[in-house]
Structure 1
Amino acid sequence: MASVLGMLEERETAARVRVEGLREEVARLSGVLEAAEIELDRRVIAREELVEALAATAAETTAVTKAETEAVSSPAPVPGSIVPPWREGLPVTVLAPDYQRILGVLEERQSAGQGPVKAKEIAVVLGLQPTSAKVEGVRSKARRLAERGWLVLETSGMFSAGRRPAAVPGAVPSA
């Protein structure tokens, strides 16, 4: 009996050592998790601040009076520029050339009586290789246009031409 009792004590000691080791590992991982959460919070705040600053700048830019807008033609958009929320009377020329081309493809399809289109099809019509990187770039731009009211994003994930006022102008969608 003494040997069985000794074996059980050895196993208990080994289990106790393992439990203590795991507790130390949990404490270490908890510290790592806390540091990662702090970093994530900082990055979220930085992005939100940037979006607010860009929205304020865009609001100041669009605050130009209608007379000034009519007297001065719209400046040429810069590739990579911000997509403003669509509103009645805003010309397509305020968009960067890539965005204008995407709108042109969808408007052409709509005028031909064709329905919504996938990002991959847009990329092909634009003459891009249908690689995942190119398609994701087109999808990102089309989503941005849809978020700002320039396009309609169907529930199927397809895009169609159509303009509507942006749901929340100056919201936090990607710039």
Structure 2
Amino acid sequence: MEERWRMGSLVEELEAREAAARVQVAELEAEVAALAEKLELARESLERLRIARETVAEVLAEMTPEDSAAAVDARLPTAGERVASAYAGTERQVIGVLTVPNWQPGMGPEILPRVYRDIVEVVADAPGPVRAKQVVPRIGLPAESGKIEGTRSKLKRLVERGWLDEDTPGMFAPAHRRRATSPNSR
């Protein structure tokens, strides 16, 4: 009888330890999820900085000595100043630099920075929606996770700005242009 009691208490002890381990696993999984989210934000920040550095390097490399001198001599608009915009012939208030402008009627991909233009063209030429890992080799990059993540970031930026659509998560397609009809446009 005493041996049966010991077995019963042993099983109960194991069940209690299993329950405690289950709680610990759940807590650790929650911590991992939070860290994964922080890691993703840090990767996005790193990618934006890398893109900014590469864009500046490209612009500087393409500038002739005359362009460089003119850029130094040119007065840049100050924040809040109104300037004519190259986009759709409108006037804009200078707030910051927008590398990928929001799409507006009349805009073509030729106004985008080269890498974004290449991405839009690859997506447009594809027979259907594409994933970032399918775009990477078509724009001349090695199929490495860093390049895929950077391209995914660019694809998402193009979606945010109206150049592409992401109807299914991770699947990018040319934007479906919805024509707004106003009562006066009949």
TM over 0.5: no
Relative contact order (alpha carbons < 8 A, sep ≥ 6): 1 or 2 greater?
Answer: 1
More strand as a share of residues: 2
